Amino acid sequence: MNILDRYHAMDYGPAPEARNEADAWLAARDFGKALFIDGAWKAASGGKTFETSEPSSGKLLAKISDASAADIDAAVAAATKALPKWSASSGYQRAKVLYAIGRAMQRHQRLFAVLETIDNGKPIRESRDIDVPLAIRHFIHHAGWAQALDKDFPGHKGVGVVGQIIPWNFPLLMLAWKIAPALAAGCTVVLKPAEFTPLTAILFAEICERAGVPKGVVNIVHGGPEAGAAIVNHPGIQKIAFTGSSEVGKIIRKATAGSGKKLSLELGGKSAFIVFEDADLDSAVEGLVDGIWFNQGQVCCAGSRLLVQEGIADALIAKVKTRMSRLRVGSPLDKNTDIGPLVDITQLDRVKGLVAEGAKQGAVCWQPDAALPSSGYYHLPTLATGVSPANVLAQEEVFGPVLATMTFRNTEEAIELANNTRYGLAASVWSENVNLALHVAPQLKAGVVWVNGTNMFDAACGFGGYRESGFGREGGREGMFEYLAAKLPLGPVIKVATVSAQPVEQADGLAIDRTAKLFIGGKQVRPDGNYSLAVATAKGKLAGEVGLGSRKDIRDAVSAARGAKAWPEATAYNRSQVLYYLAENLSGRTDEFAARLVQLTGVTAKAAREEVEQSIERLFLYAGLADKFEGRVHQPPARAVTLALHEPVGVVGIVAPDVSPLLGLISLIAPALAMGNTVVAVPSERYPLLATDLYQVIEYSDVPAGAINIVTGRSTELAGVLARHDDVDGLWVFADAETCARAEAESTGNLKRVWSGNGRSLDWASDEAAGDAFLRRAIEVKNVWVPYGD
Ligand code: NAD
């Protein structure tokens, strides 16, 4: 055997991580008292327990207290009791506690990593080098936010008691992503880990005891869906933060509808890994290993769809197969292991089932020729080629080590394929041409885009998705907002609109009869149903008639809004000029609009004039802010910059209130437009003529066709149509409480972002009914990671 043969024959020897400390910890604990409530360890009130076992062997690890509804009540009561003192403590005080948590975790870093690997099955290299250090960084980073709160988030305060529910794939890291920002914001928490992986959360609760976290500030309860549902439905909780499957995310969206609870959902994904023909293929292959085989593919943002440019497909696939053959599948505690077991037998069965189904639908599934350990829930890394876009492996989140491959011919096709998913969590773009990569990144419907990289995370950079990947961001400044509430100036309670007797007697002094239609795609169009709605003056006479919009009209308006590409693609400066022009043209008709306000609402001439002038001022404000409410550049502790781009939400439905019918409508439309959204607005049901009078102002102001669409009619009905429409990306509803609740509950089709006034209007005349709080709702933050260096 010559030296080269010896070199090739060399293999890794075993390199097991010692587990004796973790075993000693397991042996010393009473897991029958695993609920950490009000700073004390408690058994479940019903005495129930559930089992957690080791995925690499199936052996029982512990029987953990299974929280009942009464235990959740106790945890919420503890968090409520602790809230006033914690939220009133100084930022410095809270920062010291967060810092102490981070430092205490550092001192027990090894134990955390080994326990995580034992409980979850992830390779020790990952828990040791990624999960635990990132979790620690999260606490230390958020110590800074606690102290910066007053200065960086003026007018905001913590939302209160927060219920947090997390999955099993990154048990400690997801806990850190939830607890750190909540504590920094002055909230108290009730957190439930996933039932497969409770152990590191128990160790974390011990850390809280040592780090001086005041009693009741952090409460950790255990259990499954029932305990989760008890948290979600608890009336003493002001915000729910959930990470998990889209299916459960939708259940939670429905359950919280109308409750006024703030909600963030970090859900599943089917992320594209796009390789252009000028990419460095060897780097792309290493990226893929990280992208799809990290944590056995049980990663929400796993690059599970490889989209490769046709010309290099064969070469890349050959390299991928060679690399896959070298992936080491085995004990997760071995430091050389690349692929450990899946978390549970149910997960293994699910992955096997999806692979079999994908093959039945025509995919060719390839696996390296490697032996699996004799026990444990292992699945070989799998490459599926010949995958059609409709194949289950291209559409469903497998949450396992399975890569589906498709090819594309050109950039447009790559973007189209990448966006052909109901999810929108992450994407990777591989090209040596940074111009191309940065051309593609903004066009991908994904909350995070990695250029020539994958699975990069940092506490300073927001993470979260679009569409069925959920809403809200974790990490950084945008993540802090999820735990803060801005004070908005509340207006009156909105009553359910009653269909009053239709006025018939003409108001005096009207000139030639005018027919107010709908405004769709830049044109005035008749309502599809050809029905009209009479509009009464303040004195009960007939002021005019407007079209009675229907489901079909909303559909047309949404399609016009979706097609109005000129608006989101316009420069911010261009949008700003159009908004200024709208203000200018409205100002030319101040008298007319003021007279209309007096006629319809009966306000004084002075008040009417003020409302018109404020509307003009608001248009001016958002015209000015259109090119100023910009993103940021982060400098994470990696050789990369992260561009936090502000992107429009997309098509935004707006249901405007009766209160201040002109100012209210403009206060909602203008920020949405400023950020590049296209709008389908349902104006005040009672005073729609103020909106129909605006058509001409819009027509004269160079607003591209389809950017603003107005459908008059019954607010409740049209709000429901907008909520159920899967091509509406955001919905802002200022209507009665029931309509708001229904809009939230019915938004689950595509998990659109709903902002509801919960049955209250705002005081639109107040300065606080304008500005950043509105603009933030009009954008998505997309974090684009761009590495640098050779
Ligand atoms: P899951 O939705 O089944 O469970 C998540 C958590 O919700 C668990 O704690 C579970 O006990 C609880 N739960 C289940 N049913 C509930 C209900 N009806 N009410 C309240 N709580 C309930 O998800 P999972 O299988 O544990 O985790 C995998 C999923 O998590 C994947 O879809 C993955 O993409 C997603 N995930 C997303 C992110 C992200 O940041 N977007 C991160 C990690 C995981």
Residue 180 pLDDT exceeds 90 = yes
- Quote the pLDDT of residue 7: 78
Atom of ligand 1 nearest to the CA of 425: 41
- Quote the pLDDT of residue 514: 72
**Nearest Cα residue to atom 40 of ligand 1:** 266
Mean pLDDT computed over 309-330: 97
- Quote the pLDDT of residue 500: 65
For residue 218, the one-letter residue type is V
- Quote the pLDDT of residue 628: 97
Residue 510 pLDDT exceeds 60 = no
With pLDDT > 90 as the criterion, what percentage of the chain qualifies?
A: 94
Over residues 186-196, the pLDDT tens digits come to 999 999 999 99
What is the C-alpha separation between 199 and 28, in angstroms, rounded?
A: 13
Residue corresponding to tokens 């007279």: 595
In this structure, are residues 301 and 270 in contact, taking their beta carbons and an 8 Å threshold? no
Residue 546, CB half-sphere, CA atoms under 13 Å: how many? 26
**Ligand 1 pocket check: which of 64, 222, 245 to mutate, most ligand atoms within 8 Å of Cβ?**
245
- Nearest-5° angle of CA 643, CA 648, CA 654? 155
Lowest mean pLDDT among 286-295, 340-349, 529-538: 529-538
Contacts 24+ apart (CB under 8 A), 251-259: 252/165, 253/744, 253/745, 253/747, 253/748, 253/751, 254/745, 254/748, 255/229, 256/232, 256/744, 257/741, 257/742, 257/744, 257/745, 258/737, 258/738, 258/740, 258/741, 258/742, 258/744, 258/745, 258/758, 259/235
**Ligand 1 centroid distance, CA of 648 (Å):** 27
**Ligand 1 pocket check: which of 243, 299, 301, 342 to mutate, most ligand atoms within 8 Å of Cβ?**
243
Q: Give the active site residue among 54, 116, 195, 266.
A: 266
pLDDT interval class at 665 (50, 70, 90): very high
Burial environment of residue 448 by CB neighbours within 10 A (0 to 12, 13 to 18, 19 or more): buried
- Cross-strand pairs, 730: 652, 753
- Backbone φ and ψ of 407, nearest 5°: -115, 160
Over residues 433-476, the pLDDT tens digits come to 999 999 999 999 999 999 999 999 999 999 999 999 999 999 99
Calculate the average pLDDT of the chain. Answer: 96
pLDDT interval class at 2 (50, 70, 90): confident
Is 699 a catalytic site residue? no
Residue 690 pLDDT exceeds 90 = yes
Helix (H) or strand (E) holding 35: strand 35-37
For residue 584, the one-letter residue type is E
Distances (CA, A) of 99 to 137, 478, 665, 748: 10, 21, 45, 38
**Ligand 1 centroid distance, CA of 266 (Å):** 9
pLDDT interval class at 5 (50, 70, 90): confident
Over residues 102-140, the pLDDT tens digits come to 999 999 999 999 999 999 999 999 999 999 999 999 999
For residue 158 and ligand 1, the question of a CB distance below 6 A is answered with no
Over residues 373-427, the pLDDT tens digits come to 999 999 999 999 999 999 999 999 999 999 999 999 999 999 999 999 999 999 9
| Helix axes of 605-625 and 590-601: crossing angle, nearest 10 degrees | 120
With pLDDT > 70 as the criterion, what percentage of the chain qualifies?
A: 98
Lowest mean pLDDT among 11-15, 332-336, 530-534, 693-697: 11-15
Strands 640-648 and 632-634: antiparallel
For residue 229 and ligand 1, the question of a CB distance below 6 A is answered with yes
What is the C-alpha separation between 347 and 297, in angstroms, rounded?
A: 12
For residue 393 and ligand 1, the question of a CB distance below 6 A is answered with no
Mean pLDDT computed over 667-688: 97
For residue 240 and ligand 1, the question of a CB distance below 6 A is answered with no
- Quote the pLDDT of residue 497: 75
Nearest in space to 701 (alpha carbons), one of 566, 554, 542, 582: 582
Q: Give the active site residue among 116, 126, 208, 300.
A: 300
Mean pLDDT computed over 204-224: 97
**Ligand 1 centroid distance, CA of 193 (Å):** 10
Mean pLDDT computed over 240-251: 98
**Nearest Cα residue to atom 12 of ligand 1:** 225
Atom of ligand 1 nearest to the CA of 245: 32
Q: Which two tokens stand for residue 5?
A: 């043969």
For residue 224 and ligand 1, the question of a CB distance below 6 A is answered with yes
Q: Which two tokens stand for residue 677?
A: 């959204």
pLDDT interval class at 90 (50, 70, 90): very high
Atom of ligand 1 nearest to the CA of 194: 9
Residue 498 pLDDT exceeds 80 = no
For residue 228 and ligand 1, the question of a CB distance below 6 A is answered with yes
Q: Decide which of 783 and 505 is more confident.
A: 783
**Nearest Cα residue to atom 22 of ligand 1:** 225
Sequence-distant (6+) residues with CB within 8 A of 754 are 723, 730, 731, 732, 733, 743, 744, 747
**Nearest Cα residue to atom 35 of ligand 1:** 244
Mean pLDDT computed over 523-545: 92
Mean pLDDT computed over 297-314: 97
* DSSP string for residues in 427-441: EEEE-S-HHHHHHHG
Is 461 a catalytic site residue? no
For residue 223 and ligand 1, the question of a CB distance below 6 A is answered with no
Distances (CA, A) of 373 to 339, 353, 442, 703: 11, 20, 43, 64
For residue 68, the one-letter residue type is S
For residue 268 and ligand 1, the question of a CB distance below 6 A is answered with yes
**Ligand 1 centroid distance, CA of 166 (Å):** 6
For residue 232 and ligand 1, the question of a CB distance below 6 A is answered with yes
